[in-house]
Amino acid sequence: MAEARSESPRSATSMELKSDREILISRTFRAPARIVFDAWTRPEFVKRWWAPKSHCADLVDIQADVRVGGSYRYHVRSGGNAFSFYGTYSEVTPHTRLVYTQIFEPFPDSPVQVTVTFEERDGRTHLVSHEVYPSKEALEGALASGMEHGLRETMDQLDELVASML
């Protein structure tokens, strides 16, 4: 499948299409896994990186109960529009692994299964997010929405945040 890479002075975010329903996203952060995991899961940190600033998007409400069976909801405002992403955690292994569903509110019948791993190596964390979409059309719709640009920007924002948490 196709692979796209974006190089920057920090670290590159890699996004690879594994099949017509799967995306593999990876990036290495210059911070321990506990910091990257906390930035990924704790609302006070998620608010600082999750919405792409270039889209004038603002995360206005975050609810997250990060435990097996717990749920999350991120409410976003952007240019007069409001929408939410939400899901349920099925696996939570602090600092190493998360498995959850992600539903974009306008498409409640298209849950994405997300598995995120946080592998620490020499004080750096290699993060891999494996996303499985319910159909080829759902994945194509996500890509057509500009998801790749927003993803790369938010990963840069996450990189800046975790660097500030050291």
DSSP assignment of 53-87 equals GGGTEEEEEEEE--STT-EEEEEEEETTEEEEEEE
Report how far residue 162's alpha carbon sits from residue 101's, in angstroms, rounded to the nearest whole number. Answer: 24
Q: What is the mean pLDDT of residues 3-15?
A: 60
Question: For the segment 90-104, what is each residue's pLDDT rounded down to a tens digit?
Answer: 999 999 999 999 999
Beta bridge partners of 143: none
pTM of the model: 0.90
Domain span holding position 41: 3-164
The predicted-structure confidence for 101-154, as pLDDT tens digits, reads as follows 999 998 888 999 999 999 999 999 999 999 999 999 999 999 998 888 889 999
Provide the mean pLDDT of the chain: 91
CATH number of the structural domain spanning residue 63 = 3.30.530.20
Q: Looking at residue 3, what is its pLDDT?
A: 42
Cross-strand pairs, 27: 127
Provide the domain count of the chain. Answer: 1
